[in-house]
Amino acid sequence: GSDNSSSCSIYGIGAEIAAEIQEKAFDYLDAPVLRIAAPNTPPPSSPVLEKAFLPNEKDVIALIKKLIQ
């Protein structure tokens, strides 16, 4: 989908934005660019499985903690 929250981390708009930031602002970054995205696998069609598949609040918090360590 076009919504990065449901897109995988490769080949999507999030990957392009991360690449642009990494290329153009590398000298200004204190840490690497990190992305939160769905796994790089086909998405499930079941709503229950989709809920487990998509990034959630817990995933965002874990990534933020990783970034600030």
Given pLDDT bands bounded at 50, 70 and 90, which one contains residue 6?
A: low
CATH of domain 4-68: 3.40.50.920
Write the pLDDT tens digit of every residue in 16-62.
999 999 999 999 998 888 888 888 888 899 999 998 898 999 999 99
Model-level pTM? 0.60
In angstroms, the CA 4 to CA 40 distance is 13
CA distances from 47 to 44, 50, 51, 58 (A): 8, 5, 6, 19
- What are the residue ranges spanned by the domains of the chain? 4-68
Q: Cα separation of 37 and 41, whole Å?
A: 11
Residue 43's pLDDT is 86
Place of tokens 């991360």: 18
